[in-house]
Structure 1
Amino acid sequence: MGRYGEQLWAPNSAAPLRGRRMGVYRPYCPDPLAGSPSSLHDDLIARATAVEAGIRSLTGTVMVSLDRLAGFLLRSEAVASSRIAGIGVPPQQVALAEFASGAGTDSVVEGFSVNARRVARNIAALRHAVTDLAEPGAITVDGIVNLQRTLLPGHRHTGTRSVQTWLGGSEWNPLDAAFIPAPPSEVVSLMTDLAAYASGDAHPPLIQAGLVHAQFETIQPFDDGNGRVARMLIHAVLARRGLVTPAVLPVSLAFVSRSDRYVTALAAYCHDGPPGGRASHAALNQWLTFFLDSMVVAIEEARTFADEIAELRRSWDTRLAACREQTVVVRNRPREPSTADRLITMLPGSPVLTAASAARILDVSVQAAWAAAEELVGAGILRRRQIGRGATGYLSREVSDLLTLAERRLAAVKRA
């Protein structure tokens, strides 16, 4: 699994007196994945195969196409992954920031925080992970670094780190740190190995995704954004292997609801000992069992989201029909879906829109898109809101609320 080394820490002259300590610290360097892939017990492989079958069955059992849910699931995953990183933002603010970023109008659209903008960048990076990075060719270190650059634009030190980092303890030295990743001299070779393993098929997709995630978290190759990029790599591997694409599974939501066990299982992965031994197998089993259990939770949450959005769509159709019946002129329902009906279909993926953005997506005139949005306002499906200087937005609060309800539901299960 890996080995702990010993390094001498020399005092930092820029540190305050209390931080100027000398001593030995023990960075952890994991074993390579591609060069000597871990041998796994048959029962673990069988469990992974069963969970994979559960993922594939989603496309035939959910009430709403996963393709139509792709935008919603990407946003849900990015919000939860950011929350693990300590960035908590109301989902509706995230939807506003995502709209602003996608429309290229950040200077116009208002009403969201700096943290919401960070989560929107997480969405953009996650989308790159399941498209560009997951293309049939090899996953590369440069491709992984590009995820960090998308996540942290303008960051001073993107790319693999050239200094020793650590988690916990003092900001001035690693002597009391909770975990110290590999020395910087080892990072490039470890990342090259990880990319090679992620590009192969030595293990079933879920095993591969779980090992890539844990290995990346152990290497900690960047000075910021490691956890979020590590969770993106789960989806990059699964997309590359053909599981649930372009949609993603809300695995970070499962991690959030089981955060203590998430940390414990990742820590167990950093076992000091020879690969293939009993302790090594136990550590791998603990992490991968947790990971597969979390994927089961993610599958159920994806199914629940699909059912909730299907129910929401039925409610919207009922409200729209009732609104139409109350108009002075009774209109026959068109044989082809009206612009308002088509607009309803796009709301789960685009809960914030303007007449101009709806017109582009639906390929209709701005006037037709505006009339459709106003019809949905009249039916109580959309809310009209000023989102910037001279910009009128239309928001679906009910879509944004689904993620909040999911977090509360899983929190209740955690407390039980």
Structure 2
Amino acid sequence: MGTLPARRPLAVSPVGHRTGHWTVADDGLASRSARSRGTGTYETTLPAALGASEFALPGELAADVADAETVLAAFDAHAAARLGADNPALGPMSAVLLRTESASSSQIEDLTVGARQLALAELDESRSGNARAVVANVRTMEAALRLAADLDLEAILAMHAELLAGAEDAGQLRRQLVWVGRSGLSPLGAVHIAPEAEDVLPAMDDLLTFLARDDLPVLVHAALAHAQFETIHPFADGNGRTGRALVHALLSGKGLLTTTAPVSAGLLTDLEAYTAALTAFRAGDARPIVEEFARAARYAATTGSRLVDDLAEQLERDRERLSGVRRHALAWSVLPLLIGQPIVNAAHLQRTLEVPAMTAQRALAQLTESGILQEATGRSRNRVWQHTGILGLLDAYAAEVRRAG
């Protein structure tokens, strides 16, 4: 039997380190033994410069990346072709794909929420803290795509400000040490200790130089930028979700995607490999993180295309159900919007379609009588209507991702 060829690394400069000393405060909240275990010497990360680095992409890795980019572009074209470029459902389809990506990215941070609660949160009708956090991540993604053409520090701060809107340090680089680990008391023993606060801005300046390059395959560019961002950990909180939004800013800004592929769903299927790839990047081999993003891209394109098809077929069935309603009725304009927002109320329709209350209520009645919507509260006031078919498809997709993991 022949031997497999050696797996060549994608070499990057490994991170350096800076030594510090940590003392757990005697504030009455930690035991003496906990203070003793948490007090001592630690080493923070000093990110290696990436901005002007040369990269020797191994041939087989370059082929893997090219294949992944091809299927991503095919997914993008499929979404438009399945509905038609002028179809009023294309915008809502983009919205639901963006929301699916945001939910998967949030789930990587253990923020899990079902499609119903997320749709309710978009109407400010949910009491779920996780749902509100995912809606904030949706706003972060929207900001990332809106600002994709000019990824400067202000743009990245704006993304973070959307994610943590209302928090004291939203949209601000951190002023304290942060780490990835189980202990909130001390960085000792942490999986990753981020740079000291004074090292963050120089590292971000280098990252911004790297983001401005145009000499790399888009998926490689996005994977390396993400790994560097997570190494810097520039914020006190929300680094993972902001860093994955940055990926989509690059995929969009560099022209690979016009809609949102659920790449985080692909990462979510193997979190251990994703975490190990970030560790390998810091040790000097970027190949694993590029491979993880290529794998996640293929997963996103394949499963995302099925989700687009399922939602488009649901829309076709709904059009048949609505066939008895006159073509100029508002219900026909509401129908494609339900893909992007499968729970609605009269106020939402009034705002979105700029129609009077009575017109919105009539459309809801027609959609309910046609079996498309169901009133979900049983109340006489503050009612909401839901599309159980679309909610079921979105929950089924999330369940598929969980099973894959």
Q: TM-score, normalised by structure 2?
A: 0.87
How does 1:33-52 map onto structure 2 within 5 Å? Answer: 33-52=50-69
Q: 1:13 & 1:385 partners in 2: Cα distance?
A: 51
Contact persistence 1:94–1:112 (CA under 8 A): no
Which of the numbers 124, 134, 146 marks the counterpart of 1:119?
Answer: 134
Quote how far apart the aligned CAs of 1:190 are.
0.8
Code of the residue aligned with 1:197 in structure 2: it is F
What are the superposed Cα offsets for residues 293-316 of structure 1, whole Å, 9 maximum, x if unpaired?
111001112201111011111221
Code of the residue aligned with 1:173 in structure 2: it is S
Task: Indicate how the Cα distance of structure 1 residues 60 and 84 shifts in structure 2: closer, same or farther if over 3 A, else same.
Answer: closer
Q: 2:104 & 2:313 partners in 1: Cα distance?
A: 23
| 2:265 pairs with 1:253 | yes
| 2:176 pairs with 1:163 | yes
> What's 2:277 paired with?
265
Q: 1:384 & 1:206 partners in 2: Cα distance?
A: 44
Task: Indicate how the Cα distance of structure 1 residues 111 and 5 shifts in structure 2: closer, same or farther if over 3 A, else same.
Answer: closer
> What's 1:64 paired with?
83
Q: Please state whether the residue corresponding to 2:55 is helix, strand or coil.
A: coil
Contact persistence 1:387–1:393 (CA under 8 A): no
Per mean C-alpha deviation after superposition, the further-off stretch among 384-393 and 399-408 is: 384-393
Contact persistence 1:161–1:223 (CA under 8 A): yes
Which of the numbers 98, 108, 113 marks the counterpart of 1:84?
Answer: 108
Q: Please state whether the residue corresponding to 1:13 is helix, strand or coil.
A: coil
Which of the numbers 334, 337, 360 marks the counterpart of 1:346?
Answer: 337
Task: Indicate how the Cα distance of structure 1 residues 33 and 209 shifts in structure 2: closer, same or farther if over 3 A, else same.
Answer: same
> What's 1:19 paired with?
35
How does 1:10-409 map onto structure 2 within 5 Å? Answer: 10-14=22-26, 16=30, 17=32, 18-20=34-36, 21-62=38-79, 63-64=82-83, 67-100=91-124, 110-131=125-146, 133-135=147-149, 138-158=150-170, 159-245=172-258, 247-271=259-283, 280=284, 283-321=285-323, 324=324, 334=327, 338-386=329-377, 390-409=381-400
Between the two proteins, the alignment pairs up a number of residues equal to: 380
Unaligned runs of 5+ in 1: 101-109, 272-279, 325-330
Contact persistence 2:22–2:41 (CA under 8 A): no
Contact persistence 1:163–1:184 (CA under 8 A): yes
Q: 1:205 & 1:388 partners in 2: Cα distance?
A: 51
Quote how far apart the aligned CAs of 1:362 are.
3.4
Code of the residue aligned with 1:393 in structure 2: it is V
What are the superposed Cα offsets for residues 71-118 of structure 1, whole Å, 9 maximum, x if unpaired?
101111111111111111222111111123xxxxxxxxx343122111
Moved runs in structure 1, 4+ residues, more than 6 A? none
Task: Indicate how the Cα distance of structure 1 residues 78 and 387 shifts in structure 2: closer, same or farther if over 3 A, else same.
Answer: farther
Code of the residue aligned with 1:94 in structure 2: it is L
Quote how far apart the aligned CAs of 1:396 are.
1.7
What are the superposed Cα offsets for residues 370-410 of structure 1, whole Å, 9 maximum, x if unpaired?
21221111122112234999422222232222222112223
Code of the residue aligned with 1:122 in structure 2: it is N
Q: 2:24 & 2:165 partners in 1: Cα distance?
A: 29
Quote how far apart the aligned CAs of 1:364 are.
4.1
Contact persistence 1:2–1:28 (CA under 8 A): no
Q: Please state whether the residue corresponding to 1:118 is helix, strand or coil.
A: helix
Code of the residue aligned with 1:412 in structure 2: it is R
Code of the residue aligned with 2:368 in structure 1: it is V
Code of the residue aligned with 1:49 in structure 2: it is A
Quote how far apart the aligned CAs of 1:229 are.
0.4
% identical aligned pairs: 28
Task: Indicate how the Cα distance of structure 1 residues 130 and 388 shifts in structure 2: closer, same or farther if over 3 A, else same.
Answer: farther
Quote how far apart the aligned CAs of 1:363 are.
4.5
Contact persistence 1:82–1:119 (CA under 8 A): yes
Code of the residue aligned with 1:120 in structure 2: it is V
Contact persistence 1:81–1:252 (CA under 8 A): yes
What is the alpha-carbon root mean square deviation over aligned residues?
A: 2.3
Q: 2:155 & 2:74 partners in 1: Cα distance?
A: 30
Per mean C-alpha deviation after superposition, the further-off stretch among 184-193 and 2-11 is: 2-11
Contact persistence 1:355–1:369 (CA under 8 A): yes
